[in-house]
Structure 1
């Protein structure tokens, strides 16, 4: 799994850091996934995430889940796109809600977290 975490912020809202107890990644269940990567992903649940895609658009939302193929689901997502080809270009935005971003379309991925967490997340990159 390749996850670039170039953006970090120490001003993350407290409720965004607390994982929801009903989330499938948080509940231990019978599978007993205790892998360090799963633990790192649990810490990222419901954090603000900014994802860039190949056509130049960006999506900002709360990280909801990721599958084995690297597809990411964001909730409460907002799409940002350039309205003109010239620089500087104004950005247009629209609310999307729950979206899936295929790994094949992703060009960047940034997680909103503290500097210490940012350093620990760098170990997720291959």
Structure 2
């Protein structure tokens, strides 16, 4: 019961944001700093089954699974006489497993693309 009350307490929220800003200081690794720059950017992810997902980058976990917000799925259609070979479907919030991901492209400037390529594993 105490946890539910603490979320509605404005001072608790201020403490959480203070701790988050302290945590995002110089003690984070360069890879985390680079990923933080990608938050809330449009990302295009290719899946191993040929589909593509376009959405806003929300987060990534230690296993490499990515969560996209406001995602749209694009897939090839095999209908004859169809001038547009791609079909789209709005999905919303989705998780894309790392094992299914074949490519990942972010909307950013050329300088940012070059700096992202230099992330060491």
Same-fold call, TM > 0.5?
yes
Instruction: Work out which of the residue numbers 61, 66, 81 in structure 1 matches 2:55.
Output: 61
- Measured after TM superposition, the shift of residue 83 of structure 1 is 1.0
Query: Gapped runs of 5+ residues in structure 2?
Result: 1-15
CA deviation string 1:83-116 (max 9, x = no partner)? 1177x86100011000000000001000110000
The 1:78/1:112 distance shift into structure 2, 3 A limit, reads same
Structure having the higher helix fraction is: 2
**CA RMSD in angstroms, aligned pairs only:** 2.8
* Counterpart position of 2:45: 51
Unmatched runs of 5 consecutive residues or more in structure 1: 1-21
CA–CA distance in structure 1, aligned partners of residues 77 and 49 of structure 2: 13
Runs of 4+ in 1 over 6 A off after TM superposition: none
Match for residue 10 of structure 1? none
- Structure 1 pair 43/99, CA: closer, same or farther in 2 (3 Å)? same
**Structure showing greater Rg:** 2
Q: How many residues align?
A: 103
Aligned to 2:88: 93
Per the alignment, do residues 124 and 68 of structure 1 end up closer, same or farther by CA in structure 2, a change over 3 Å counting? Answer: same
> Matches of 2:105 and 2:34 in 1, distance apart?
15
Give the TM-score, by structure 2 length.
0.74
CA contact (8 A) 2:44 2:105 kept: yes
State TM-score, norm by structure 1. 0.71
Is the Cα–Cα contact under 8 Å of residues 31 and 120 in structure 2 kept in the other structure? no
Equivalent position of 1:80 in the other structure:
74
